């Protein structure tokens, strides 16, 4: 009897010991199977995540909103894949030391893999999504940030009034004359309402004088994500009415309302039908009227200048622009339209005629200018007064006529850099106040006519190459000048300074006429290079350009000689 009891007890202890040791023996004995099962699940999760990622990307391209459970699954899958990669690295290290296995380390790894595999299996089962996203409602392109809204005192005051009014009043009317900016302000109200989350939905549409109800209903339906099940106007109105009643707070902006209109015919609930639905009208029928006034003169000019991209140093153009801005009568829409047209035009202007401008010529506003013709500007004193000529690198030809007050082409204190002026051609007619010219070293063609005060053309500071001769006279070469005309210049004494010897190797044609005081001599050498020297008031007979007794009538034409 005692032996039987002892045998039964021993058998029970052995059974319990085997049951307790079974999982641990499994980790030791089935290590290869556990690794293979884990690897298969890991690869399946990688492929499944790639497939879900592809579906999500496609849904986003279709402007769909991704379901939260899909995004949560992707985050969990990403986390598990990172952890499984660490385990895979441990498996790879175990393969490298398979001839000397560490049994305790292998046991721990096998246990980790066995515990991770069911977690991966659950993720795989949860990845069978019928859809990964849905078509969300539109926000309305009207409320995308625009530069049209100006922070003027009138606009800011009206905006603040509207934002306060929509909190307590069901229907607000924005009143103002045409083109004063009511639509722009209404859009700004909608944008602020969305940003401040004052309403669950904000919708805006235009009624105009002849509204198309079908199009308006479709636009409202797009904002609410509604697909109509009916085709009639009345049926669509009822569908819109019901879906809008389900939204707690709605702002409806109706622009350009011409006459009394029943909103229920579109499907918009208001008043007792939906106390959370606020209406903003750009019309005269309202519970609260907010006056949007025209811009003040200063506000109008600031808006015009900013939209046209005008600089403060473009004084003459600014004077003209102010007159243009004044004609817009303070209407923001008109100001913006005209200013943008002016800005676009300036950038591409290559030929410009200026007539009757004042003291300064705003060439800085025309960076691509090639040809400039200034005519009959009785008050013009400087072509480029307060403006650096660095921005005039495209300028090729300048013609100036009938400018009696012109004194300098470039104001000297603003033109210390001699590399600024690179004009190939310049023509000067009828500006008797001009006394001295500079920066002519790169000219190819120049005509000087009818100036009563011009005494000297070239100065030592001009951009020409200087070579010192044995006689200690400075020889200056103007390599590019091909055509030179000096006509009707009664005060002209020197073409070049005294003691200077100028060479004009490229000169093709020279005309000197009616310059009675000119003391500069012109002559040519055997290579038909033209020289000029200010030493004697007479032409040298043997080297004369043309047989002429005085310097007041000299003509040279290389094509004829």
Tokens describing residue 99: 């001839």
* Residue 57 counted as domain residue: yes
Tokens describing residue 533: 């020297």
3-state secondary structure of 511: strand
430 & 456 share domain: yes
372 & 428 share domain: yes
Start-to-end CA span in the chain (Å):
152
451 & 533 share domain: yes
Among 108, 135, 162, which residue terminates a domain? 135
- What would the pLDDT profile of 356-389 be if each residue is shown by its tens digit? 455 555 555 555 666 777 766 667 766 665 444 4
| Torsion over CA: 376, 378, 379, 384 (sign) | positive
434 & 491 share domain: yes
3-state secondary structure of 474: strand
Among 241, 272, 291, which residue terminates a domain? 291
358 & 464 share domain: yes
What is the rounded distance in angstroms from the CA atom of residue 386 to the CA atom of residue 315? 9
* Residue 329 counted as domain residue: no
388 & 451 share domain: yes
What is the rounded distance in angstroms from the CA atom of residue 491 to the CA atom of residue 432? 10
pTM, whole model, 2 decimals? Answer: 0.39
Number of domains the chain contains: 3
167 & 107 share domain: no
- Write down the residue that tokens 């102010």 correspond to: 322
What is the rounded distance in angstroms from the CA atom of residue 511 to the CA atom of residue 362? 33
CATH number, residue 438: 3.80.10
- Given pLDDT bands bounded at 50, 70 and 90, which one contains residue 463? very low
Cβ contacts of residue 559 below 8 Å, gap of 6+? 508, 509
28 & 149 share domain: no
- What would the pLDDT profile of 213-251 be if each residue is shown by its tens digit? 888 888 888 888 888 888 898 999 999 999 888 888 999
Q: At 128, phi and psi to the nearest 5?
A: -85, 75
As a whole-number percent, the residues of the chain with pLDDT over 90 amount to: 6
What is the rounded distance in angstroms from the CA atom of residue 503 to the CA atom of residue 466? 10
Cβ contacts of residue 468 below 8 Å, gap of 6+? 474, 475
The residue range of the domain holding 548 is 350-557
- What would the pLDDT profile of 487-501 be if each residue is shown by its tens digit? 777 877 777 776 666
65 & 169 share domain: no
204 & 269 share domain: yes
131 & 166 share domain: no
Q: Which residues is 502 bridged to in the sheet?
A: 476, 532
3-state secondary structure of 173: strand
């Amino acid at each position: 009897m005692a032996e039987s009891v002892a045998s039964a007890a021993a058998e029970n202890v052995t059974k319990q010991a085997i049951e307790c040791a079974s999982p641990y023996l499994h980790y030791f004995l089935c290590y290869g199977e556990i690794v293979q099962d884990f690897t298969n699940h890991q690869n399946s999760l990688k492929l499944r995540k790639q497939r879900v990622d592809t579906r999500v990307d496609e849904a986003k391209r279709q402007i769909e909103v991704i379901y939260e459970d899909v995004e949560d699954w992707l985050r969990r899958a990403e986390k598990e894949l990172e952890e499984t990669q660490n385990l895979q690295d441990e498996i790879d290290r175990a393969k490298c030391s398979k001839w000397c296995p560490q049994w305790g380390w292998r046991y721990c790894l096998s246990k980790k893999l066995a515990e991770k595999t069911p977690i991966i299996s659950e993720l795989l089962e949860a990845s069978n999504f019928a859809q990964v996203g849905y078509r969300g409602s539109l926000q309305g392109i009207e409320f995308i940030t625009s530069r049209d809204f100006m922070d003027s005192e009138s606009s800011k005051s009206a905006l603040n009034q509207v934002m306060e009014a929509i909190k307590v009043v069901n229907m607000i009317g924005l009143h103002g004359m045409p083109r004063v900016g009511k639509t722009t302000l209404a859009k700004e109200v909608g944008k602020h309402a969305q940003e401040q989350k004052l309403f669950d939905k904000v919708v805006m549409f235009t009624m105009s004088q002849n509204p198309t109800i079908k199009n308006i209903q479709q636009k409202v339906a797009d904002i609410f994500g509604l697909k109509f099940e009916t085709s009639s106007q009345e049926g669509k109105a009822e569908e819109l009415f019901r879906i809008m009643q389900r939204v707690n707070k709605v702002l409806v902006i109706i622009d350009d309302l011409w006459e009394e209109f029943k909103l229920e015919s579109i499907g918009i609930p208001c008043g007792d039908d939906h106390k959370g639905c606020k209406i903003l009208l750009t019309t005269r029928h309202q519970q609260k009227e907010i006056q949007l006034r025209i811009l003040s003169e200063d506000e109008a000019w600031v808006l015009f200048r900013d939209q046209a991209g005008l600089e403060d140093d473009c004084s003459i153009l600014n004077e003209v622009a102010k007159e243009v801005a004044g004609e817009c009568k303070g209407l923001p829409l008109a100001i913006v339209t005209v200013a943008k047209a002016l800005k676009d035009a300036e950038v591409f202007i290559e030929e410009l005629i200026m007539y009757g401008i004042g003291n300064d010529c705003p060439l800085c506003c025309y960076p691509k200018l090639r040809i400039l013709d200034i005519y009959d500007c009785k008050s013009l004193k400087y072509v480029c007064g307060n403006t650096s000529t660095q921005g005039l690198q495209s300028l090729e030809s300048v013609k100036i006529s009938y400018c009696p007050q012109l004194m300098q082409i470039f104001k000297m204190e603003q033109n210390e850099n001699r590399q600024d002026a690179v004009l190939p051609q310049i023509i000067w007619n009828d500006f008797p106040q001009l006394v001295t010219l500079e920066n002519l070293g790169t000219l190819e063609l120049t005509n000087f006519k009818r100036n009563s005060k011009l005494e000297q053309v070239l100065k030592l500071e001009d951009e020409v190459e200087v070579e010192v001769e044995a006689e200690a006279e400075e020889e200056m070469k103007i390599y590019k000048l091909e055509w030179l005309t000096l006509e009707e210049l009664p005060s002209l004494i020197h073409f070049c300074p005294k003691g200077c010897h100028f060479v004009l190797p490229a000169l093709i044609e020279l005309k000197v006429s009616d310059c009675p005081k000119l003391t500069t001599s012109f002559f040519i050498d055997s290579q038909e290079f033209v020289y000029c020297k200010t030493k004697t008031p007479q032409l040298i007979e043997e080297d004369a350009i043309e047989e002429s007794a005085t310097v007041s009538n000299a003509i040279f034409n290389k094509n004829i000689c």
